Chain A
Amino acid sequence: MLRLEARPQPSKLMSLLSPVLALVLTAILAALLFVALGKDPAKGLGIFFVEPLSNLRQFSEVLLKATPLITIALGLAVCYRSNVWNIGAEGQFLLGVLSGGGVALWLTSSGIVLPKIVAVPLVLAAGVLGGMAWASITALLRDKFNASEILVSLMLVYVAQQLVNYMVFGPWKDPAGFNFPQTKNFDASTWLPNLLGGTRLHIGFLIALVLVGLTWMFMFRLFRGYQLQVGGLAPAAARYAGFSASTSLWTALLISGGLAGLAGGMEAIGSFKQITPHVSTGLGFTAIIVCFVGRLHPVGIIFAGLLLSMMIIGGELGQSRLGLPNALTGVFQGLLLVLLLACDTLIHYRVRVRSALAGAH
């Protein structure tokens, strides 16, 4: 019989091995699913885990998709380390799309052509502010009304989605757009500069990498970052040390809201270049998985972001080449997180085999 025995100390090695183990288990289940669907499992796995890295064009798409995932997940890592359960990053992302994209649209509509060096930061700053404003609703209700941040942040995702719909069906609809629910295309002067000729990759990826460094500094080198994590691990100790729980809550939510909003702004002028009802693709939820697979660590989040992005691109390839349903990506993502959490048990526990003989004593 198998028995769990608590380790004296959490295992560092297992903490790193657990995502690898979870990925292997996900791949095994994926292969079984391909067989059940009547597809060649080797070919299926190849599409998801090899093909996206096989040539420069696909790889640049992986980096492009990883950009918002990494940016959002960094903020979530700060939140979860502080024990603040913000699960509404998707809503904060959408507000970033609306506020950043709104500025780009305003510049376009009023015919103002600014140099990129002014226009792009303006749009991105608006995105950050939009995300922060949305997250601060959650912070306010948690702080002053004791309302669960889990439920409030999530409810606000649905509100944000309707807000996007309202804007593109109403005030922001392109008058020359044949009544389609979409805005005008943003003027090229507001677009994020391209990073690699012949691909869609933009400098947002570099911004995300810089943010990885900054988040690392905040978490492990700044006193405020330390305060936040103590508050998350041992609230009583933090109170005793005089760290304000309310300040931590606001800091965590403003950082994660700001980063999700920035990701929204970058997507608005990097990928979409207009706003449609389809800007909500669940990246804010996928980023939660990125955050856990990346062990709530900025460096881990880079790898996890690339992995989850690869699965998204793989899903699109699987749809076009093998006729697989696109929803398969969601199944694999969900499985990966469930299996990861199961494997994480090995960080805190050892599996012991208890023989029948020992049990008799």
Chain B
Amino acid sequence: MDQLPLLIAATLASGTPLALAGLGLLINEKAGVLNLGAEGMMLVAAIAGFAAAFTTGSDTLAFVAGAAAGGLLAAAFGALVIWLNTNQYATGLAVSLFGYGFSAFVGVGYVGQKLSERTPFEIPGLSQIPFIGPALFRHHPMVYIAIALIAAAVWFLYRSRAGLVLRAVGESPESAHALGYKVRWIRLMAVVAGGALCGVAGAFLSVVYAPLWVEGLVAGRGWIALALTTFATWRPVRVLLGAYLFGGVTMAQFALQGAGVNFSSQLLAMLPYIATIVVLAIISRNPTWIRINMPASLGKPFHPGT
């Protein structure tokens, strides 16, 4: 039983990058843009964040660097799909492939370097409570920031005027355009914000979670985050819960190995990916439900005046 609080803590830590990236993709999709480049954005941000943390020693700078790298790549992606009307699937895929190659190229000198283990931030008082303290209140600040960001997103999307405009652009760009909103600029802002969040997630992986750099460090989490938006039927709070669920699945393999279960580690490593497929299939099963919840113009380009 002493293992359980640590397992819960590890679940929250491993769910955090999924929650951040999932939230970023949710914002993209609410504005009508499907971003298959998330994996690439996270990879480039992961190496940018790692390099920043390695040279300056500052976590804050690492997250800024990660957000900037993710946002920059997202801006390029946005310019292509929003202004040049390129195919969103192909372009996102291209960004992911580019991000993989580019991060590997930039990261050559950092392979094998290790950052020191991050000291968790202990919330005074609460972290001393037995069981609950070590499980919930001894984490890197970003774990709490992620939760705060989800709460902020709920307020932004459903309680603020700007959020209403963002959703309108994703549901019916023609109507939003007719009302005088600059659909393409709003979409670009959403894409850049989403990319920056993917960037923070990438930096969290390389700086806090790993903390090291290897080629392909993100290991498909960008794609899992993409699946998360569907699981969550495009609701921020469900993105957070889904992220922790997958964090738990990732941790379950280590827990099983630790408990001495005699099972191949390679087969256990398949678990998060298989879980993603299974949950995706179950959630997507009812096409009407998906159609009701999905932003109506998701993945469709908008070109004013045509």
Contacts from A to B (Cβ < 8 Å): 4, 6, 85, 87, 141, 145-148, 150-152, 154-156, 158-159, 162-163, 165-166, 169-170, 285, 288-289, 292, 325, 327-335, 337-338, 340-342, 344-345, 348-349
CA distance A235 to B224 in the complex (A): 28
Docked-complex contact A87 and B267, CB < 8 angstroms: no
Docked-complex contact B280 and A152, CB < 8 angstroms: yes
Known pairs A146-B286, A150-B36, A158-B273. 12 more at Cβ < 8 A? A146-B290, A147-B281, A151-B277, A151-B280, A154-B220, A155-B274, A155-B277, A162-B269, A170-B264, A170-B266, A327-B101, A330-B100
List which B252-289 residues lie within 8 A (CB) of chain A.
Answer: 264, 266-267, 269-270, 273-274, 276-277, 280-282, 284-287
| Known A-B contacts A151-B223, A151-B276; A331 and B284 likewise in contact (beta carbons under 8 Å) | no
At the interface, is chain A mostly helix, strand, loop or mixed? helix
Q: Mark B68-111, 1 if CB is under 8 A from A, else 0.
A: 00000000100010011111011101110111111011011000
| Complex contacts, B83 vs chain A, CB 8 Å | 4
Docked-complex contact A331 and B277, CB < 8 angstroms: no
In-complex Cβ contact of B89 among A150, A325, A330 (8 A)? A150
| Complex contacts, B286 vs chain A, CB 8 Å | 146
B-side interface residues, number (CB < 8 Å): 52
Docked-complex contact A342 and B108, CB < 8 angstroms: no
Docked-complex contact A169 and B284, CB < 8 angstroms: no
| Known A-B contacts A169-B266, A345-B86; A148 and B94 likewise in contact (beta carbons under 8 Å) | no
Min CB distance A328 to B, Å, is 6
Min CB distance B262 to A, Å, is 12
In-complex Cβ contact of A146 among B266, B274, B284 (8 A)? B284
Which 7 residue pairs spanning A and B have beta carbons closest together? A330-B101, A334-B98, A327-B104, A166-B266, A327-B105, A145-B281, A337-B94
| Known A-B contacts A148-B284, A158-B219, A334-B99; A163 and B94 likewise in contact (beta carbons under 8 Å) | no
Docked-complex contact B98 and A335, CB < 8 angstroms: yes
| Complex contacts, A141 vs chain B, CB 8 Å | 277, 280-281
| Known A-B contacts A148-B230, A151-B276; A166 and B104 likewise in contact (beta carbons under 8 Å) | no
| Complex contacts, A329 vs chain B, CB 8 Å | 101
Docked-complex contact B105 and A159, CB < 8 angstroms: no
Docked-complex contact B285 and A163, CB < 8 angstroms: no
Q: Tell me if B196 counts as interface (CB < 8 A to partner A).
A: no
Docked-complex contact B266 and A165, CB < 8 angstroms: yes
Q: Mark B43-77, 1 if CB is under 8 A from A, else 0.
A: 00000000000000000000000000000000010
Q: Tell me if B119 counts as interface (CB < 8 A to partner A).
A: no
CA distance A231 to B219 in the complex (A): 34
| Complex contacts, B306 vs chain A, CB 8 Å | 6
| Complex contacts, B91 vs chain A, CB 8 Å | 338, 341
Min CB distance B60 to A, Å, is 28
| Known A-B contacts A159-B270, A165-B266; A341 and B280 likewise in contact (beta carbons under 8 Å) | no
Contacts from B to A (Cβ < 8 Å): 36, 40, 76, 80, 83-87, 89-91, 93-95, 97-102, 104-105, 107-108, 215, 219-220, 223-224, 226-227, 230, 264, 266-267, 269-270, 273-274, 276-277, 280-282, 284-287, 290, 303, 306
CA distance A85 to B226 in the complex (A): 15
| Known A-B contacts A155-B277, A344-B86; A333 and B105 likewise in contact (beta carbons under 8 Å) | no
| Complex contacts, B95 vs chain A, CB 8 Å | 334, 338
**Which residue in chain B gives the minimum CB-CB distance to A140?**
B281
| Complex contacts, B80 vs chain A, CB 8 Å | 338, 341-342
| Known A-B contacts A155-B276, A158-B270; A345 and B100 likewise in contact (beta carbons under 8 Å) | no
CA distance A162 to B263 in the complex (A): 14
**Which residue in chain B gives the minimum CB-CB distance to A170?**
B264
| Complex contacts, B101 vs chain A, CB 8 Å | 327-334
Min CB distance B297 to A, Å, is 17
Docked-complex contact B267 and A331, CB < 8 angstroms: no
**Which residue in chain A gives the minimum CB-CB distance to B274?**
A159
| Known A-B contacts A151-B276, A159-B273; A342 and B100 likewise in contact (beta carbons under 8 Å) | no
**Which residue in chain A gives the minimum CB-CB distance to B101?**
A330
In-complex Cβ contact of A331 among B105, B219, B220 (8 A)? B105
CA distance A190 to B287 in the complex (A): 47
CA distance A134 to B122 in the complex (A): 47
Min CB distance A153 to B, Å, is 10
